Structure 1
Amino acid sequence: MLVHILLLALIAQVKTTSICDRKLCVCWVKNVQNEDYQGENVQCSYADADILQSNYELPDIVNSLDLSSNKIEKVQSSALLDSTTLIELLLHDNAITTIEINSFQLPELKRLDLSGNLLDHIHREVFRDLTKLEYLNLANNRFTTFTKMNFHHLSNLNDVILDNNNIGPSLKGTNLFDRSGSGLTNKIKSLSISGINLNTVPDNFFVDAYDISTLIISNNNISDVFEIPFTLKHLDLSDNPIRDISGEDFTDLIALQELNLDNLLIKEVPDYIFEHLPSLRKLTLERNNNLVNFSKLAFGRDVLDDPAEFKLERLSLKGSRLTRLDEALAVPLGELTELDLQGNPWKCDCNFVWVKTLQLSDQSTQHLRCDKPTPLFNAKVFDLHEKYFTCEIRHRGFEIAIVVICATLGIVAMWVFLCLPTRKTGCGFLKNMYGPSTAYSVLPMAASFHNDVER
């Protein structure tokens, strides 16, 4: 009898063993002020592919559970996925192909990361009990259509990452915010659809995204700037084959604070393109290998004299093909807290020396170097004395005057050489060439007079 009691006690102990007792797991309490919830954080990445099949349980009060990089292939019902306090669950970078229904018994879960797996379909009932879910990351999976993700019914979902799933072709005839029940809800505030093989963005594509403030639509095949939601605060259009941008593309975006235009195919930043972005604080135009012209009126004309309305704080033009910037930009650029001009083939002449008056950090000047003229190649701009920033004096009118004077002096010299008394024969030679000589005009007259006397 005593043996049976001890055996039952041992079994009960095994069943209630905490995951924190595992050598490959680490548990700690993160004390952060002003957080809504305090609890233990459990880190069990790189632990065991069968970890969900173990008998370990979570602490009574747990905040976050990290099961990433465990080579998990199937998510199933487990004591580790049954908690009334868990807020964050990380299952990224596994080999998950299947998520069974009723796997997640996590009524308080707000953040779920399933990125970097092998998922191509999620049953609608999988998320049934995740009524408070706000953040969902499904990047780097194998979805080919967002209709197989089935998260429309998640009424509190506001932050979605779908990067690097080949769902772009399926969006040609279907709106991502489809009201039929398969798309995103109109409560989405942040959406990332980078690298989904999207070619075009149809008109009114975001018409139902009433509250969207962040849109990352980089690394696609978009060639034209589309109708941008006016509610956006952060827009990333980088790594798309966009050839032209204009002020009309960014009108009425009064809330936009950050704009990323890296690695496009644009050749110039035209006049007034950023003039009507009153809230813009950060602008990046990096790695634009075709960009050769940045208009002095890109931010409008008013800021050139009075930067009071110039609210931009950070600007990066790193790694483009700019050779010069107009000195008129010295006033607005001088107001920036961060400016990066590195990695451009700058022409260090008298028209560029004004850049040395800008207050740049040491980190932003390390690769700010000259490309021309040849004697200054690869020299650090801020290490050069101003006397080296010179320009050749070339005036067209001056050059013409020099040519005329030289030609005149040449003609005078030739006349002096040929027509002085010691050079009379030469002067006569010129007269024979350019007009009748004295001998040729007098002799016929003398002959005529002699004939008249004989008669």
Structure 2
Amino acid sequence: MKMTNKYVSIRAISRDNSLQRAVPDCNTRKMLAFLAALCFITLVHSTDICDNGTCVCWYQDVGDQDYIGYNIQCTYSDSDILKSDFVLPSKVHSMDLSSNNISTLHSSVLLNSSMLNELILQNNVIKEITYKFQLPELRRLDLSNNLLESIDKESFSGLKKLEYLNLANNRFTVFTKLMFHHLSNLNEIILNNNNIGPSLEKANLFDRSGYGLTNKVKSISISGINLDKVPDNFFVDAYDLRTLVISNNRITDIFEIPYTLQYLDLSDNPISEIANEDFIDVPALEVLKLNNLWITEVPEYAFDNLHNLKELELERNKNMTVFSSLVFGQEVLNDPVDFTLERLSLKASSLTKLDRDLLEPFGQLIELDLQGNPWQCDCRIRWLKTLQIPNRYTEHLRCGSPPNLYNAKIFELKNKYLTCVEQKRHIGIAAAIFSVCIILALIAVWFFVCLPKKQSRGNLLREFYAPTAAYSVLPMASNN
């Protein structure tokens, strides 16, 4: 009996120990279940951005090593996309967050990448940037078409490799709210349609106490910034500037053009005169655009010094009525083999004629656009029809005068319709002389054919040449 009680006591003790061990096991299972649920929730909310169905992704594996990776396009998706916990792919090249009604940039998984090369934030409603970008590999940043008025001077401090910056169509006005001192590798900047023109008279783009662009910049676009005048030595620190777009401003005189320029756009400025001296120190210039100016003529030797010029645009110059045959110099007319120009456009201006001396150099062009001018269709324009101009450049190559040929396609007109007043006068005189000769010839024929026989003709001639009675007989003195 004692043994039984002892046995029961031992079992009871064992049961109590088992219960004590079971309690922690139950808590452990609950904890594991909680962690599993948490992990599930985390996985749901940290979905790869390419798997959420909102963005479009494609992999780019060609080209330079820096451009290999995913291109992510999340346009027109969500204004709170920066607040999401989407995870970026391990290798991402470009991300487009345009047109998402984003108003503020803040710390976000999407803006914290060690791989991203290009970030596009255009067409949003961002007013200011105080956020410091954490994108050490970023090379291209597009913030155009926002409402930006200021950017904190430290915002770009982490973008040491940035090469391209687009700030067009914002609301910047003064350099104190827009500085580029940290962008030591920047080589292309676009500042179009910001009202910074007045401030550039006080602070140079390359001034370290101003905007702070470095001399590594190769391309600048400052179109539509309300610039009245380019100050002297404005580009003196632009040692390697290749492209300059300074169109759609209020510039009236051509300024000192940087020596290194290869591309220059001066279009849509009230410039009333161009001369040879304006382009004397830009030997590397290859593309020149002078559209919609106030000029009335392109004078002799205007582009004589541009020995590397390949493309020239003189479009929409409504006051331009003269294009000199010597605009490229005399040597081009004598030996067009050395003529470097490949593309020339004079369309939509007010030209009525061109000198035939331009036939040889124009014949060397790859593209020639003369459409939209009120050409005077006479003998002086016939030579244009001998040029090899593609059909796409002849559709609107039409006559402006004379009235009977108005709007006629020049390349469809027969040469007999392309005559000059001088030619018509000469033809009239020649026709009159010919008519007189015919009449005289007819009279001669009538004289020899219609009169009676030879005898009669001889008598008629003798009678015609016979002396008159008054002189036929002369009185003779009597001879004693």
Q: TM-score, normalised by structure 2?
A: 0.81
Note closer, same or farther for the CA distance 1:181–1:376 as it changes in structure 2 (3 Å cut).
Answer: closer
Q: Counterparts of 1:21-32 in structure 2 under 5 Å?
A: 21-32=51-62
1:68 aligns with 2:103: no
Among candidates 280, 287, 291, match of residue 316 of structure 2: 287
Instruction: State the 1:23 CA deviation.
Output: 1.9
User: In the alignment, what sits opposite 2:365?
Assistant: 336
Cα shift readout 1:225-274 (whole Å, capped 9, x = no counterpart): 00000100000000000000000000021100000000000000000011
Partner SS state of residue 210, structure 1: coil
Rg larger for? 2
Note closer, same or farther for the CA distance 1:329–1:35 as it changes in structure 2 (3 Å cut).
Answer: farther
Cα shift readout 1:73-130 (whole Å, capped 9, x = no counterpart): 001110001111110000001001132333x211000000000001110001111111
Q: Counterparts of 1:372-411 in structure 2 under 5 Å?
A: 372-393=401-422
Q: Counterparts of 1:17-416 in structure 2 under 5 Å?
A: 17-34=47-64, 36-102=66-132, 104-180=133-209, 182-393=211-422
Question: Contact 2:123–2:145 at 8 Å: present in 1 too?
Answer: yes
Cα shift readout 1:133-189 (whole Å, capped 9, x = no counterpart): 000000000000133112122100110000000000111222221132633111110
Note closer, same or farther for the CA distance 1:395–1:358 as it changes in structure 2 (3 Å cut).
Answer: closer
Note closer, same or farther for the CA distance 1:175–1:181 as it changes in structure 2 (3 Å cut).
Answer: closer
| In structure 2, C-alpha distance between the alignment counterparts of 1:306 and 1:279, rounded to whole Å | 16
Partner SS state of residue 126, structure 1: coil
| In structure 2, C-alpha distance between the alignment counterparts of 1:242 and 1:171, rounded to whole Å | 20
Instruction: State the 1:383 CA deviation.
Output: 1.0
How many residues were matched structurally?
Answer: 399
Residue ranges of structure 1 left out of the alignment (5+ in a row)? 400-455
Partner SS state of residue 153, structure 1: coil
Question: Contact 2:342–2:364 at 8 Å: present in 1 too?
Answer: yes
Code of the aligned partner of 1:207: V
Note closer, same or farther for the CA distance 1:253–1:356 as it changes in structure 2 (3 Å cut).
Answer: same
Question: Contact 1:153–1:181 at 8 Å: present in 2 too?
Answer: no
Cα shift readout 1:282-326 (whole Å, capped 9, x = no counterpart): 000000000000000000011112112210000000100000000
Instruction: State the 1:21 CA deviation.
Output: 1.6
| In structure 2, C-alpha distance between the alignment counterparts of 1:194 and 1:34, rounded to whole Å | 31
Note closer, same or farther for the CA distance 1:262–1:304 as it changes in structure 2 (3 Å cut).
Answer: same
Partner SS state of residue 75, structure 1: coil
User: In the alignment, what sits opposite 1:417?
Assistant: none
User: In the alignment, what sits opposite 2:435?
Assistant: none
Percent identity of paired positions between Structure 1 and Structure 2: 60
Note closer, same or farther for the CA distance 1:220–1:59 as it changes in structure 2 (3 Å cut).
Answer: same
Partner SS state of residue 266, structure 1: coil
Question: Contact 1:25–1:44 at 8 Å: present in 2 too?
Answer: yes
Code of the aligned partner of 1:123: D
Instruction: State the 1:396 CA deviation.
Output: 10
| In structure 1, C-alpha distance between the alignment counterparts of 2:388 and 2:254, rounded to whole Å | 34
Question: Contact 2:291–2:315 at 8 Å: present in 1 too?
Answer: yes
Question: Contact 2:175–2:203 at 8 Å: present in 1 too?
Answer: no
Code of the aligned partner of 1:88: E
Divergent runs of 4+, >6 A: 394-399
More displaced, 31-40 or 116-125?
Answer: 31-40
Question: Contact 2:310–2:342 at 8 Å: present in 1 too?
Answer: yes
